[in-house]
Structure 1
Amino acid sequence: MLWIKALHIVFVTSWFAGLFYLPRIFVNLAQEGAGPTTERLLLMARKLYRFMTLLAVPAVVFGLILAYLQYSGPEGMKLPGWLHAKMLFVVLAIGYHHACGSLLKKFERGVNSRGHVFYRWFNEVPVLILLAAVILVVVKPF
């Protein structure tokens, strides 16, 4: 079980590194006009999004395996309240990930309608998701 936990932590950390960085690329894209810099940023964003997706899948799978190993028994799954709340934040992280993909497609089509200030605020969302998830896992408030 410790191997699975270690792999879960590594994949979550790597996935969130991408969730932190991709919106920073969006900030730069929103500030740039058309040109070679924009094409380079779009290439970086596309590659990062693909890589993030490859990291998100094992992060979620290893988390589900951990929950199953820890909380399943002969009477079925009995998940504590904090884990239900953490799973909500996992769903929010997945939704944020998909929102990043949608925004990337808008940049690729040249139809972005938001300014760099929006993306600076948008960039803070995964920090709050990660903070809540870590507090729930470590403190286990309920």
Structure 2
Amino acid sequence: MRVFKFLAVLAVIAVSPLSLGQDLKLGESFVGDFTIDSVSTTDGVNYHLTASGEAGPYGRVYGNWLFTNKLGLEDMGEFTGYGWTQSGEEVVTATLQGVWKKNGKVFDLFTFDAVSNGLINVATGELDMVNKTLKFNVAPVK
């Protein structure tokens, strides 16, 4: 009986990661390549950044991000923002929300964004303040 219980517990432990894991299905990815236009702060804690650049099927995109650190962590925090683009008469907007983590001389960014065209985009990025660049690898969630 003990052997049976042991094998049952072992089977549950072995299968748990498979049944509890999340499989995020993504569409075709594209690159967002931005130049930082400005950075400002009014309190030395929260920073507002604006940038513009090319983002795959969206063309020229303008965005702003507010970087905060609500948990008071050493080298990481969160951000929110807003992006927009226009192609002909069509305007597409997005709300941006994610986390940042300092990684040496750059900041790694991870974000989920709601887009007015009905998509949810997920992206990983790198913010390089010295070189004034902000680059994302973006993919829509299916």
Q: Is TM more than 0.5 here? A: no
Shorter-chain TM range is under 0.3
Q: Which has the larger radius of gyration?
A: 2
Q: TM-score, normalised by structure 2?
A: 0.21
Q: TM-score, normalised by structure 1?
A: 0.21
